[in-house]
Chains A and B, each alone.
Chain A
Amino acid sequence: MDLLEQFANINFYLLGPYPKGEIGGLCLNIILALLAIGSSFIFGALLGYSRLSCRLYIKYPCIAFIEIVRSTPLIMLIFWFYFFLPYFFGGSVTIFWSAVVSLSIYAAAYQAEIVRAGIMAVPRGQLEAALSTGMSRYKAMRFVVLPQGFKMMLPSFVSFFVSLFKDTSVTYIIGVIELTQTGIIISQRQPDKMYAAYFSMAIGFWLVCYSFSHLARKLEKRIGVFDLESYRPEACRDEFMLLPRRGKIGEEADQSARCIPAGPELKG
Chain B
Amino acid sequence: MMITGVKITLILLATTTVTSLCLGTVIAIMRISRIRIFHILGNLYVEIFRNIPGLFLILFFYFVFPEVLPSSIGAKLNAYLYYPVVAGILGLTIDNASYVSDILRSGRLSIPHGQRDAAISTGLSRVQQYLYVLLPQMYRTALPPLGTRMVHNFKNTSLCMAITAPELTWATQQIESLTFRGIEATSIATLFYIVLAGIMVSVIILLEKILKIDVSSITHSKTL
Contact = CB atoms under 8 A, between A and B. Distances in A.
A201 B63 CA distance: 14
Given A72-B190, A230-B144, A169 B51 contact: no
A68 B145 contact: no
Nearest to A191: B67
Nearest to A69: B194
Given A72-B155, A73-B169, A76-B169, A206 B193 contact: no
Interface string A44-79: 000000000000000000000001101111111001
B73 to A, nearest CB: 16
A196 to B, nearest CB: 10
A205 interface: yes
Contacts of B51: 162, 166, 205-206, 209-210, 213
Contact of A73 (B53, B149, B193): B193
Contacts of A194: 63-64, 67
A191 B169 CA distance: 28
A231 to B, nearest CB: 9
B95 to A, nearest CB: 9
Given A72-B193, A76-B190, A83-B182, A205 B67 contact: no
A198 interface: yes
B53 A166 contact: yes
A17 B48 CA distance: 28
Contacts of B47: 210
Interface centre among A71, A83, A84, A173 (most CB of B within 10 A): A71
Interface centre among A67, A68, A76, A194 (most CB of B within 10 A): A76
A265 interface: no
A224 B159 CA distance: 34
A195 B74 CA distance: 14
Contact of A75 (B67, B144, B169): B169
A73 B194 contact: no
A166 B52 contact: yes
B99 to A, nearest CB: 10
Interface in B164-222: 169, 172-173, 182-183, 186, 189-190, 193-194, 197-198, 201
A202 interface: yes
B94 to A, nearest CB: 12
Interface in A207-230: 209-210, 213, 227, 229-230
A77 B83 CA distance: 27
Contact of B53 (A71, A76, A187, A205): A205
Interface in A137-181: 162, 166-167, 169-170, 172-173, 180
B47 to A, nearest CB: 7
B155 A71 contact: yes
Nearest to B208: A232
Interface string B39-64: 00000000110111111100110011
B162 interface: yes
B156 interface: yes
A68 B194 CA distance: 6
B151 interface: yes
Contacts of A127: none
B148 interface: yes
B16 interface: no
Given A71-B151, A194-B67, A202 B169 contact: no
Contacts of B194: 67-68, 71-72
Given A68-B194, A80-B186, 13 more contacts: A67-B198, A71-B151, A73-B159, A76-B169, A80-B190, A166-B51, A166-B53, A172-B55, A173-B161, A180-B53, A205-B56, A210-B51, A213-B50
Interface of A: 67-68, 70-76, 79-80, 83-84, 162, 166-167, 169-170, 172-173, 180, 184, 187, 194-195, 198, 201-202, 205-206, 209-210, 213, 227, 229-230, 232
Interface of B: 47-48, 50-56, 59-60, 63-64, 67-68, 106, 144-145, 148-149, 151, 155-159, 161-162, 169, 172-173, 182-183, 186, 189-190, 193-194, 197-198, 201
